[in-house]
Structure 1
Amino acid sequence: MAHILAPSAQWQARMVVPDGCSIRGKSVTANIWKTLLTSQRVKGGKPSRRATKLRGLTVVARASDNSTVNRLEDLLNLDVTPYTDKIIAEYIWIGGSGIDLRSKARTISRTVEHPSELPKWNYDGSSTGQAPGEDSEVILYPQAIFKDPFRGGNNILVICDSYTPSGEPIPTNKRHRAAQIFSNKKVTDEIPWYGIEQEYTLLQPNVKWPLGWPAGGYPGPQGPYYCGTGADKAFGRDISDAHYKACLYAGINISGTNGEVMPGQWEYQVGPSVGIDAADHIWCSRYLLERITEMAGVVLSLDPKPIEGDWNGAGCHTNYSTKSMREEGGYEVIKKAILNLSLRHKEHISAYGEGNERRLTGKHETASIDTFSWGVANRGCSIRVGRETEKQGKGYLEDRRPASNMDPYVVTSLLAETTILWEPTLEAEALAAKKLQLQV
């Protein structure tokens, strides 16, 4: 799953500073700027010109000793903790598309430990597709706090959901409904665990073509890229590693990362997390990934099928278990859950991400979007049960249907609702059990 990208052929930008310091063709990280600038020698009061080769990219730098870049980096890294009790809180919410992340910062007078200590805020919903211009105010309710790896110190990231001024959740606020499901006593008693596998694709910024792919062309066929190592197999490891560390710093329960089957594609896993925390952690991890790719000059795509043809799509496989599934006799509970999931297949598919029909074709380790199936160790099924779960007679199931752009509030709460709260008719249950060859 993933490496901080030194300037690559995909990082396209031009940066010019007043001191005469410039880099033509590509953007670079602050550390590389330092290396370049300190290596220059100014003669006769004029900045020297020198070409430096960095991982296949020629960088031309004109530098002066008093670099604006260095001064900017000093300010960005400035620790204000010894001078003030105030902190910066970055309020994060989901925009009108249901997948775009928005954020803005405000000063808080002191450090906080819980979201309830933070004030509500508002934003212009007409600019995010969430409110009309004549009544555009939308209210942010702080719901979860994470440490800010970009600003450091006591500064925080705040996951929020959105409401009208009268206190009603707006239509794109999926967290509100999820919180209702997860607060149901039947659900809380089952302590639902989630392990979510978020796949994503890194794109070159101007051509929107996967990182590491020749512009307008194709790399070698799939095979060597999954968990691969080497400059011709792993594209974007720096971004994945930077994201991994940022998640750990923030307090996100990230559990691993690896390169995926299609070149330029990566995955990371979050969990096991309980209830609505799983979705909060995924949304915050996506925000961190958006920020890191922004810094790198690379485009993040959560499209479930970014490249048509004989290439794997991108999913968000969701591993799920309840207390009853994890205890003795849990395998029978798992089979009952699979039966329920089969009966609500259409409801789940409709809520599992946009464009998922391009991914769930029955090829490339997917099941057909139109047919529900399950199997032990079968990655071509809708629901996969692990060999160890079958052997131990307890454990978890993996729902392989969610797309990479799914809303984790919707998917996690729907799994809990279908397997814990929803009960089919006896007739429907019997027919489904026969069809799936399940004995429950």
Structure 2
Amino acid sequence: MAHILAPTTQWQTRITKNATSASPMTAKMWGSLLLKQNKKGPTKTSTKFRVLAVKSEGYTINRLEGLLNLDLTPFTDKIIAEYIWIGGTGVDVRSKSRTISKPVEHPSELPKWNYDGSSTGQAPGEDSEVILYPQAIFKDPFRGGNNILVICDAYTPQGEPIPTNKRAKAAEIFAKQKVIDEVPWYGIEQEYTLLQTDVKWPLGWPVGGYPGPQGPYYCGAGADKSFGRDISDAHYKACLYAGINISGTNGEVMPGQWEYQVGPSVGIEAGDHIWASRYILERITEQAGVVLTLDPKPIEGDWNGAGCHTNYSTKSMREEGGFEVIKKAIHKLSLRHKEHISAYGEGNERRLTGKHETASINTFSWGVANRGCSIRVGRETEKQGKGYLEDRRPASNMDPYIVTGLLAETTLLWEEAEALAATKLEQNV
């Protein structure tokens, strides 16, 4: 992100009462997702939703589209809630649907639910029940109407967070009064790569071959430079519809790679919005017949990796004299570099090489306007004497709950004395 603005005044853990007036994604949004479909003439249809998974005669498809587009609101108060949670890998998103008796405005109005944790790598078969706690709700861009997406975290039947529930620890950090008082803002830049389904090779690349070298693809336009724009645009609109605080999008340096930005968001909201946006992206690529990967280095060689740069500021950083506060925060981050790196995404060592706009994974560095550093400070922040910092270390597959919570913990709750004691302990070992 180029800068951090004031955060949204709308908290997306609530659904506005006029949600019934919203409509699901239209044919123009979804129709453009068809990639190289056989066209034997103009398709005559008056429906709004294109089903990509069904391969049959148009009449059958049209009937199915009509059912998918049924507006339930004139006939029932019941809604469909899609419960979403993070699976056993810590990166995969899972979901299932249930009927709720009436529209809701807050996650506290939703019941807890359960799932088979033995099928997601999160519980043994002999004691497989895992409990879902609804935490944030968003409008459902796929079903429309009053239907919702529900971000959940997972607990044992005894009420303990399961090991892959990173939201619970982050929520504890953001509930500390010192953190609340500093109103931490986050702007997260999520990079991702689109792959061809059968060959798992980047979208737009010749099968078994390579495109021209990097240079013309970043923010580029044209059939030979931009691959997957329709998916990026559909995702952009779907996130806005859902109430996700998405602030922009662009094509990335490696062809077939894209980025979107979420934020500025306050506290735990940042993680909720990133996970909801990832789920929506998975659903869109599913319908487009394209594979999404968050691998931090999907193609080895002279190609950029994929990161999840995290812009961060506190109230003190944004006020007069904030640059000094930023430098103190950076000093603390330098002392906990190893701890942060270990939590910033699997496979990140393949990306953080000191090349392709990254710093070495083994060395902490910071600089003004330097994209080859661990922490970058913008020119405007230096000029104004206040602003934010950008942590460029997180990988594209990082858990936003871990990263946002760790940044707040290190800069606001962690005392330097602990670092000095830890350093001495390492030296004596």
- Normalising by structure 2, what TM-score? 0.87
Q: Give the Cα–Cα distance (whole angstroms) in 1 for the partners of residues 291 and 420 of structure 2.
A: 46
Describe the shift of the 1:62–1:123 C-alpha distance in structure 2 as closer, same or farther (beyond 3 A).
closer
1:149 has 2:156 as partner: no
Describe the shift of the 1:79–1:216 C-alpha distance in structure 2 as closer, same or farther (beyond 3 A).
same
Q: Deviations over 1:122-157 (max 9, x none)?
A: 000000000000000000000000000000000000
Query: Which residue of 59, 73, 77 corresponds with 1:85?
Result: 77
Query: Which residue of 338, 361, 374 corresponds with 2:366?
Result: 374
| SS of residue matched to 1:213 | coil
Q: Which residue of 2 aligns with 1:7?
A: 34
| Greater Rg over alpha carbons, structure | 1
Q: Which residue of 2 aligns with 1:137?
A: 129
Q: Flag structure 2 segments of 5+ consecutive residues without an equivalent.
A: 2-28, 46-54, 424-429
- Residue identity (%): 83
| SS of residue matched to 1:36 | coil
State whether residues 34 and 70 of structure 1, in contact with CA within 8 Å, keep that contact through their aligned partners in structure 2.
no
Q: Give the Cα–Cα distance (whole angstroms) in 2 for the partners of residues 305 and 161 of structure 1.
A: 28
1:226-245 residue pairs with structure 2 within 5 A? 226-245=218-237
Paired residue type of 2:43: L
Q: Which residue of 1 aligns with 2:162?
A: 170
Q: Which residue of 2 aligns with 1:361?
A: 353
Q: Give the Cα–Cα distance (whole angstroms) in 1 for the partners of residues 146 and 232 of structure 2.
A: 25
Q: Give the Cα–Cα distance (whole angstroms) in 2 for the partners of residues 34 and 338 of structure 1.
A: 60
1:346 has 2:338 as partner: yes
Q: Which residue of 1 aligns with 2:314?
A: 322
Paired residue type of 1:7: L
Cα deviation for residue 327 of structure 1 reads 0.2
Q: Which residue of 2 aligns with 1:36?
A: 43
State whether residues 199 and 315 of structure 1, in contact with CA within 8 Å, keep that contact through their aligned partners in structure 2.
yes
Q: Which residue of 2 aligns with 1:204?
A: 196
Q: Give the Cα–Cα distance (whole angstroms) in 2 for the partners of residues 197 and 384 of structure 1.
A: 14
Query: Which residue of 165, 179, 185 corresponds with 1:187?
Result: 179
Q: Deviations over 1:164-202 (max 9, x none)?
A: 001000000000000000000000000000000000000
Describe the shift of the 1:34–1:184 C-alpha distance in structure 2 as closer, same or farther (beyond 3 A).
farther
Q: Deviations over 1:60-114 (max 9, x none)?
A: x9956xx010111111111010000000000000000000000000000001011
Q: Which residue of 1 aligns with 2:21?
A: none
Q: Deviations over 1:242-297 (max 9, x none)?
A: 00000000000000000000000000000000000000000000000000000000
Q: Give the Cα–Cα distance (whole angstroms) in 1 for the partners of residues 260 and 177 of structure 2.
A: 31
Q: Which residue of 2 aligns with 1:275?
A: 267
Q: Which residue of 1 aligns with 2:240?
A: 248
Describe the shift of the 1:188–1:364 C-alpha distance in structure 2 as closer, same or farther (beyond 3 A).
same
Paired residue type of 2:35: S
Describe the shift of the 1:63–1:133 C-alpha distance in structure 2 as closer, same or farther (beyond 3 A).
closer
Q: Give the Cα–Cα distance (whole angstroms) in 2 for the partners of residues 245 and 102 of structure 1.
A: 22
| SS of residue matched to 1:202 | strand
Cα deviation for residue 36 of structure 1 reads 2.9
Q: Which residue of 2 aligns with 1:69?
A: 61
Cα deviation for residue 424 of structure 1 reads 1.1
Q: Which residue of 2 aligns with 1:434?
A: none
- Normalising by structure 1, what TM-score? 0.85
| SS of residue matched to 1:312 | coil
Aligned length: 386
Q: Give the Cα–Cα distance (whole angstroms) in 2 for the partners of residues 421 and 113 of structure 1.
A: 33
1:114-129 residue pairs with structure 2 within 5 A? 114-129=106-121
Describe the shift of the 1:420–1:62 C-alpha distance in structure 2 as closer, same or farther (beyond 3 A).
closer
| SS of residue matched to 2:181 | helix
| SS of residue matched to 1:99 | coil
Q: Give the Cα–Cα distance (whole angstroms) in 1 for the partners of residues 127 and 41 of structure 2.
A: 48
Cα deviation for residue 338 of structure 1 reads 0.2
Cα deviation for residue 428 of structure 1 reads 3.9
Cα deviation for residue 209 of structure 1 reads 0.2
State whether residues 37 and 63 of structure 1, in contact with CA within 8 Å, keep that contact through their aligned partners in structure 2.
no
State whether residues 35 and 288 of structure 2, in contact with CA within 8 Å, keep that contact through their aligned partners in structure 1.
no
Cα deviation for residue 33 of structure 1 reads 10
Q: Which residue of 1 aligns with 2:24?
A: none
